[in-house]
Structure 1
Amino acid sequence: MSDLTQQLIRLANDIGGDTEFSRAGGGNASVKRDGILHIKPSGVPLATLRQEELVPLRIDVLLDALHSDDEVDGDPVRVAAQKAQVGDAGGRRPSVEILFHALIDDPLVLHLHPLTANAVTCNERGEELAREILGDDAVWVDYTDPGVPLARAVEDARNAHAARTGKPVPGVVLLGNHGIIVSGASYDDVAQRVHSLTDRIQRAIDQAPQPEEIAHPQLSATQKKAIVESFHLVTGASASASSDSGLARDYTGPLAGPVSEGPLIPDQIVYAGSLPLVLQGDEDEAALSHKVEQFQATHERLPIIAVVPGALVVAIGDSPSGADNALATYLDAVRVAADADRIGKVRVMNQAERHFIEHWEAEAYRRSVAKEQ
């Protein structure tokens, strides 16, 4: 294993293994060597990434695909990956973000969905906040559908930043309602940029007013248990998980973005669904079943999350780990929304943005990988 590859694996495991920055199969990482991009497979956790799992792709082929307007048969990212593949990938698909990894010159690239930084990226004032907090040390990109559109938006924003400042493009890109891209020449370069970015945004959050207190329905332990069991039963799930304290109690008011408006980032849609089923807390099994049916009729899918605002969050999954991950992913969004509202106003993904992720085959594939872990 080359020294650069060792550094990439350390970055992925050390930073990607911290749920402040990544959860489950979210995020991705790559290293460039001799014209080849070696990138994390889709759905594989950064925390456990190994050198032998990296998928090698020719950078020149990826850049040609990025800049081509020729029509292709199928998803353009998938087609580009197949053309660029070097050798046998062992059935692994590369990350769907191969194109923005390819266009960044730095040898090491880490893409994360960090909770602290996403208080800025998932914000109606995101670009303004980025300038106030980070100045010219970061490039801002408005929310753009992943794949070719996002890679082109990243390239355009980097070029515009260089033209405006007359300086080299910084190794930090903020992606609206998505996450961050951090790049550099070494482990220390990338790690320093990740932690500096996080510290600067956290200071801004800490200096902002605390969120207002919300109302808390008085539910007994018996009532909460009944809701968890009924939601598990009527959805036909294999497993469930729940929380009635901390974020689930203090920041799930009825007006919270993830409760009443929508998801914050694509990974929330992948692992926890776009919208929760909102309950009053007094539903019996029949009433809860009826609400699940209504939700399914409206959204064409079962809810993964149920919320009694200010009291309880329940998640379902195909396995205990899947339910735990859905719950944690949703509560991450709750935390990000609360912090975003302290420094501005949380921005949720709109219907068109949600629809793209909900129906993109690449994300369906990532969900299938998650089920196997």
Structure 2
Amino acid sequence: MNRSLSVGKARIPLVQARIGEVGNFPCQIDDAPPHHHVQILTGWFAEVTVQRAERREVPRASQLTQALLSRRVSKRREVVTGGVAVSGCLGGKRGCIHEGPLDAKDTTCAPGSETPFPAYFQNPSFPLYWSLIARHILRRSHVSLEQLIELSRLYGSNPQWVLAGGGNTSVKIKNTLYVKASGTTLADASEATFVKMDRKKLAAVLKKEYPAEPAERESQALQDLLDARAEGQELRPSVETLMHELLPFTFVIHTHPPMVNGITCSQQAEQAARTVFGDEVVWIPNVNPGLILATTIRDAIKEYKTQHGTPPWLVLLQNHGLVVAGDTPEEILARHRDVASRVKAHITRFPELDTVPYDGRQAETLAYQIARAADELVPGTPDHQAVFICNREVFRHVRSAKAFTPLSRAFSPDHIVYAGHRIPFLTQTDDFGAELAAVRRELEDFLRETGRIPPVVAREGLGVFITGRNRRMMDAAAALFLDAVQIAVYTQAFGGEAFLPPEQTDFILNWEVERFRTRVSAGE
């Protein structure tokens, strides 16, 4: 499977390309030579931003990364890191990056051909620059916040582990816990990303008795969490801070890898987790996030230690994600590789995300009508925009309402926050007036349910539209939708999809913590 990967941002006229399309479009990426082969992820009617869903911008603060990307390497390079073999070329004439197993076919970068990107979704191994940064992290001989920052960038810049503002990381240094602030992104991690917490005060929070009423309980727990910040700290810590404190390891990394969520979001979730990971995993069933999740994890860790004599390093959260803990960066890297390889061995089908032909005129017309209807329902500035997405996997799912069922509702909290708790599905019709009425009706219904226009709208026989006013949030919605596409495919190995239960969905839709995270992620 051939894929292309950009290494930065560029702008080209919209008339030259549509979202999801792969082709030879002249453009400039930062200060690099013209890059002629890109895939469009996000686009607006004036121009588009070229930035792959599968790969974000390289962490700007990493001098090592910038040095790697500025090098001119004209031939294929091979690196083996901890048993994971990757190959690629960096900074060539077209500034492309390739990755894949060394035995992958068609891995040369021939001018004028589609930039090869073999098996990206089939092998969540390290891209070349990612492997070298991992080696750089391992050179540090003492525990430091800098190690956490680099680990955060490492996993945050690889969308096979985390997307948008999802995931969180921490490091314990004596009596202090440094944890990611709510709404920030791991890919852009810096010292300012982390909140300094007093571990003694966190321990007190875990021992305190709280009211049974959910709203009052979560309000008090949030205030106690804010009060546990060290003096001078102003950012709000991750709502999952207590989980990080509970795991007795130096580093804790919480991510949302789609392949692992193929297990956690499946019908056979717990059974599959124990089949893949045996006694090494602690399984946490669906519970409301916040304090209830923290106390559930606390009890599960206590039970695991009683049975096994040691604390668990691996936690799977149903309809949520992965938690890996370790005392050194070496342990963190090795354990993530182990998790990925074990899950991959059980996958029966991998997503096919190559592009397919579609009716461009119909897509553009419907995008305009969706944006116009959104503006009529929620007037204001800037105007709403709607961007079209389609690839082979998406097209399979929009063939009918029944085929779209595996994508119809949210798999996890992040999917609710960024892509919506459900995805409206427009039935195909030749009656233009009826279609416009259906668009308005679906948008009105979603607005009534949630107070916002649906971030994602599907159309039978065509594809999917990303809607919104905020480019940053539209990027996130597109990325999380494509993440859900992958999860839906991976769940086929474990009995099929299982969505987030209604009670957790309702809790998250009305939870102040998630509304706060959404505002911060949007840059508001």
User: TM-score with structure 2 length normalisation?
Assistant: 0.65
Alignment correspondent of 1:275: 422
> CA separation of 1:274/1:74 partners in 2, compared to 1, >3 Å: closer, same or farther?
closer
The aligned counterpart of 2:79 is: none
Is residue 251 of structure 2 the alignment partner of residue 108 of structure 1? yes
CA distance in 2, matches of 1:19, 1:176: 20
Using the TM superposition, name which of 232-241 and 262-271 deviates more: 232-241
CA distance in structure 2 between the partners assigned to 1:74 and 1:209 by the alignment: 40
Task: Report the alpha carbon displacement of residue 314 of structure 1 after superposing the two structures with TM.
Answer: 0.7
1:127 matched to 2:270? The reply is yes
- Whole-Å Cα distance in 1 between the matches of residues 335 and 227 of structure 2? 33
Work out which structure has the larger RCO, using CA pairs closer than 8 Å and 6 or more positions apart in sequence. 1
8 Å Cα contact 2:210-2:220 kept in structure 1 = no
1:138 to 266, 278, 281: 281
Cα distance change of structure 1 residues 198 and 251 upon mapping to structure 2, 3 Å threshold: farther
Match of 1:82 in 2: 226
- Contact 2:242/2:294, CA 8 A, preserved across alignment: yes
For residues 328 and 277 of structure 2, the distance between their equivalents in structure 1, rounded to whole angstroms, comes to 22
Who is 2:66 aligned against? none
**1:252 offset after TM fit, Å?**
4.6
- Name the SS of the counterpart of 2:144 in structure 1: helix
The 3-state SS of whatever aligns with 1:356 is helix
Rounded to whole Å, the distance in 2 between the matches of 1:349 and 1:269 is 9
In structure 2, what is the equivalent of residue 57 of structure 1? 197
Identity %: 28
Per the alignment, residue 341 of structure 1 pairs with 492
User: 2:146 corresponds to which residue?
Assistant: 6
Q: Is the 8 A contact 2:170 2:179 kept in 1?
A: yes
| Alpha-carbon offset, residue 266 of structure 1 | 0.0
Secondary structure of 2:311's counterpart equals coil
Distance 2:471 2:193 in 1: 25
- Equivalent residue number for residue 16 of structure 1: 156
* Equivalent position to 2:325, from 180, 183, 206: 183
Residues 326-360 of structure 1 deviation map (CA, whole Å, 9 limit, x = unaligned): 01111211210121123222110121110111111
The 1-side partners of 2:330 and 2:461 are apart by: 41
Q: TM-score, normalised to structure 1's length?
A: 0.90
Q: 1:307 corresponds to which residue?
A: 458
**1:1-373 correspondence runs (5 A):** 3-71=143-211, 75-89=219-233, 91-164=234-307, 166-205=308-347, 208=348, 220-236=359-375, 238-252=384-398, 254-255=401-402, 256-260=404-408, 262-282=409-429, 284-297=435-448, 301-309=452-460, 311-372=462-523
> Residue 40 and residue 187 in structure 1: after superposition, are their counterparts in 2 closer, same or farther (change >3 A)?
same
Distance 2:189 2:405 in 1: 33
Kept after mapping to 2: 8 A contact 1:258/1:275: no
1:170 offset after TM fit, Å? 2.7
Tell me by how many angstroms 1:294 deviates.
3.5
Matching residue's letter, 2:414: D
CA distance in 2, matches of 1:359, 1:298: 11
SS at match of 2:476: helix
Deviation at 1:189, TM superposition (A): 0.7
Post-superposition offset of 1:171: 0.9
Contact between 1:317 and 1:326, CA under 8 Å: does it hold in 2?
no
State the distance in 2 between where 1:107 and 1:272 align.
33
Q: Which secondary structure state, in structure 1, belongs to the residue aligned with residue 159 of structure 2?
A: coil
Ranges in structure 1 where 5+ consecutive residues have no aligned partner: none
CA positional deviation for 1:227: 1.4
Letter in 2 for 1:56: K
Q: Is the contact made by 1:16 and 1:46 (CA closer than 8 Å) also made in structure 2? A: yes
What letter corresponds to residue 331 of structure 1 in structure 2?
L
Task: Report the Cα offset of residue 192 of structure 1.
Answer: 1.3
Shift of 1:195: 1.9
Contact in 1 for aligned 2:196/2:230 (Cα 8 Å): yes
3-state SS of 1:180 partner: strand
Deviation at 1:230, TM superposition (A): 1.2
SS at match of 2:178: strand
Contact (CA 8 Å) 1:270, 1:363: kept in 2 or not?
A: yes
For 2:331, give the aligned amino acid.
D
Instruction: After TM superposition, give the deviation of residue 199 of structure 1 in Å.
Output: 1.5
Higher helix residue share: 1
Counterpart code for 1:244: C
Task: Please tell me whether Structure 1 or Structure 2 has the larger radius of gyration of its CA atoms.
Answer: 2
- Code of the residue aligned with 2:241 in structure 1: it is I
> Aligned partners of 1:224, 1:333: CA distance in 2, in Å?
22
Distance 2:450 2:235 in 1: 31
Displacement of 1:103 in angstroms is 1.1
User: Is the contact made by 1:251 and 1:335 (CA closer than 8 Å) also made in structure 2?
Assistant: no
Give the deviation of 1:52 after TM superposition: 3.2
2:162 aligned counterpart, secondary structure: coil
> How many Å separate the matches in 2 of 1:310 and 1:38?
48
Q: Distance in 1 between matches of 2:449 and 2:165?
A: 28
